[in-house]
Amino acid sequence: MLDKPPGITSNRALQQVKRMFAARKAGHGGTLDEPAEGCLPIMFGSHTKLAEYMLDSSKVYECDIELGSTRTTGDATGDLIEEKPVPPLDAAKLESCLSKFRGEIMQRPPAYSALKYQGKRMHEYARAGIAVSRIARKVTISELILLGMKDNHIMLRMTCSRGTYVRSLAEDIGEFFGCGAHVYTLRRTEMSTLPVKYLVTLQQIEATPEEERDSLLLPEMHIKVSNDKIYINLEQAKELSQGKQVILPEGEDVKLASIYIKDETELDNSQLFGMGSLEDKTLRKEKHLMNVI
């Protein structure tokens, strides 16, 4: 899992990693804006099939929001639109504000976003000076915590659903206090169920000899799209590969689980087979990463 640096696009980071691993096929699991940094899952080969699940997963961000100034892009890279004095703030006032944005809310995407409107990206209209309708969408912010405040900056940690824009949250907070705001810095600290201890930088990859770079990859047992795990044997994996259903007498119903071919000698060496659901003791394959014949 890549610790993307600020200042480069997610696609550029992907291409650099793809080159360093000499991979034929690669993809990433969730775009980070160019100024943002942090967790960017990079997948190779058949594991690119996991991208859609990564996109749907919850994310955790830590951000520094600067109050008192509004910018075109909603972050520090944009042109200054307006500056206003910041009212006196304390923890109680900030908590009153943050409570408005916890839970399921309606949020308008920023003008500078990759969302499409009539076949074109919204940021294309914004750069051309054309205003388009930004329809509010339902998102969920399950956690929004004040980490600290200094001068006109507030530091927050948030856990949110797919489609949530931190830049929009910053603008909404600025509107709440009547002074405007934008994202000063942003870091994605967690994504999905992937363990952050395996984060590596581009510099670490580059410094690792080519023949040893596979040691930087996330172990199979930690690649998961759900906290639910189902273990099967090799024969059951063959049946799933052939499109058959597998009966698991002891299994409990689960909508989405990571399916592993169990290593009987060392559980941590179990291999990720794919994703599936279990209903009425019947295991159904949703997507598999490998064929077993």
CATH (domain of 247): 2.30.130.60
Identify the weakest region by mean pLDDT among 242-246, 247-251, 261-265, 289-293.
289-293
pLDDT at 194: 78
Tell me, yes or no, whether 79 lies in a domain: yes
41 lies in some domain:
no
33 annotated active-site: yes
Q: How many CA atoms lie within 13 A of 263 on its CB side?
A: 10
Q: Both 64 and 186 in a single domain?
A: yes
Angle between helices 91-98 and 166-177 (to 10 degrees): 120
Q: Are 98 and 142 members of one domain?
A: yes
Q: With 90 as the cut, is the pLDDT of residue 71 above it?
A: yes
pLDDT confidence of residue 3:
96
pLDDT exceeds cutoff 90 at 135: no
Show the tokens assigned to 192.
């999905």
Query: Quick count: other Cβ atoms within 10 Å of Cβ 169?
Result: 26
Residue 181: predicted pLDDT: 97
The whole domain housing 148 covers 58-191
Domain-embedded: residue 215: no
Clarify whether residues 161 and 265 are in a common domain.
Answer: no
Beta strand 69-71 pairing with 80-83: antiparallel
150 and 242 housed in the same domain? no
Measured in degrees and rounded to the nearest 5, phi and psi for residue 286 equal -95, -45
186 and 225, same domain (yes or no): no
Query: What is the tally of structural domains in the chain?
Result: 2
Query: Does 21 map to a domain?
Result: no
Answer yes or no: do 126 and 62 share one domain: yes
Query: Is residue 278 one of the residues assigned to a domain?
Result: yes
Query: Which of 263 and 76 is assigned the larger pLDDT?
Result: 76
Dist. CA 127–CA 133, nearest whole Å? 15
Let me know if residue 130 belongs to a domain.
yes
Residue 241 shares a structural domain with residue 179: no
174 within domain boundaries: yes
Sign of CA dihedral 44, 46, 52, 54: negative
CATH code for the domain of 119: 3.30.2350.10
**Looking at residue 212, what is its pLDDT?**
94
pTM: 0.86
Does one domain contain both 67 and 157? yes
Instruction: Report how far residue 47's alpha carbon sits from residue 26's, in angstroms, rounded to the nearest whole number.
Output: 8
pLDDT band at 57 (very low <50, low <70, confident <90, very high): confident
Instruction: Tell me how far apart the terminal alpha carbons of the chain are, to the nearest angstrom.
Output: 30
Q: Is residue 113 included in any domain, yes or no?
A: yes
**What is the rounded radius of gyration, in angstroms, for the C-alpha atoms of the chain?**
22
* Token pair belonging to 62: 């830590």
Mean pLDDT is lowest, of 136-140, 198-202, 221-225, 264-268, for 221-225
Q: With contact defined as beta carbons under 8 Å apart, do 161 and 58 qualify? A: yes
Residues 64 and 182 in one domain: yes
* Domain's final residue, options 191, 211, 236: 191
Question: What band does 293 get if pLDDT is binned at 50, 70 and 90?
Answer: low
Q: Annotated catalytic residue: which of 3, 33, 64, 75? A: 33
Query: Residue 229: is its pLDDT beyond 70?
Result: yes
Same domain, yes or no: 147 and 264: no
- Given a cut of 90, whether residue 133 has pLDDT beyond it is no
Q: What is the pLDDT of residues 4-17, one digit of tens each?
A: 999 999 999 999 99
What does the chain look like in DSSP terms, one character per residue? -EEEPTTS-HHHHHHHHHHHTT-SSEEESS---TT-EEEE-EEEGGGGGGHHHHHHS-EEEEEEEEETEEETTSBTTSPEEEE-PPPP--HHHHHHHHGGGSEEEEEPPPSSSS-EETTEEHHHHHHTT-------EEEEEEEEEEEEEETTEEEEEEEE-TT--HHHHHHHHHHHHTS-EEEEEEEEEEETT--GGG-B-HHHHHHS-GGGGGGGSPPGGG--SSS-EEEE-HHHHHHHHTT--EE-TT---EEEEEEEE--SS-GGGPEEEEEEEEETTEEEEEEES----
Same domain, 82 and 128: yes
Average pLDDT, the chain: 90
Pair 138, 186 in one domain: yes
| Domain-terminating residue out of 170, 191, 212 | 191
Q: What's the gap between Cα 274 and its chain centre? A: 20
- Percentage of the chain surpassing pLDDT 90? 59
